[in-house]
Structure 1
Amino acid sequence: MATTTSTSKPASQTPERSLDQRMEALRRANEIRSRRAQLKKDLKAGRASITQVIDQPPDFVMTAKVFDMLMAVPKYGKVKATRFLNTCRISQGKTIGGLSDRQRSELLELLRR
């Protein structure tokens, strides 16, 4: 029977945060969520353009998934959104801020048709 020896290394831990820092992070996260929700409502109502959001995304949208933003547009369901992403070779988990120049330009071209 083989025995394993393990050397005790301190596990990397996240830094301790003060209550003020945690509350500030929570406030920022809540603000981002509410601004994204409003943007999705605006997309659904036609007050915002998906091409504008993808071409020049505001800061609060940079970490949003492209798939989720497409789903907020009227007449874009799971099938159509998936087809668009597959055509442009974009993963469903890709964020708007994580799009490469090629992916962004191909998606914009497809959306503008």
Structure 2
Amino acid sequence: MPPATKTPSKPLVAAPERSLDQRMEALKRANEIRTARAQLKRDLKAGRRSIHDLLLEPPEYVETAKVFDMLLAVPKYGRVKVNKVLQLCRISPSKTIGGLSQRQRTELVSMLRR
């Protein structure tokens, strides 16, 4: 018998081409988001911002950030403690802040307030 060959069931569709202006605008927006998140992490580390407020009412630029990464910016929270908290709250480490359900948000905030 010949080896099985994989044939795509759907034709491959390329993403639409973007103009130079569209690419530059997307790059500018991505850089603004990265800069804002970096400042937010510095504020969390310095205690100028509360992780509780951030989780309950996240700004738009943070909604696609990973919960794991934001918790790492909180003082006294390292990888082990963050993984433990997320596991107790039944939250995947790859979950984004915008992707949290209301149950996960409230459970995570109550866990962090202990």
Same fold? TM cut 0.5 = yes
CA drift of 1:73 comes to 0.5
Deviations 1:63-96 (A, max 9, x none): 0000000000010001110111001000000000
Runs of 4+ with >6 A deviation: none
SS at match of 1:63: coil
Alignment of 1:2-41 (within 5 A): 2=2, 10-41=11-42
SS at match of 1:98: coil
Q: TM-score, normalized by length of structure 2?
A: 0.91
Following superposition of structure 1 onto structure 2, how do residues 66-105 of structure 1 map, counting pairs within 5 Å? Answer: 66-105=67-106
* CA–CA separation in structure 1 for the residues paired with 2:77 and 2:12: 45
- Structure 2, unpaired ranges of 5+: none
TM-score (normalised: structure 1): 0.92
Q: CA RMSD in A?
A: 2.0
Per the alignment, residue 59 of structure 1 pairs with: 60
Shift in Å, 1:11: 1.7
% identical equivalent positions: 67
Segments of structure 1 that go 5 or more residues without pairing to the other structure are none
Q: SS of the residue aligned with 1:36?
A: helix
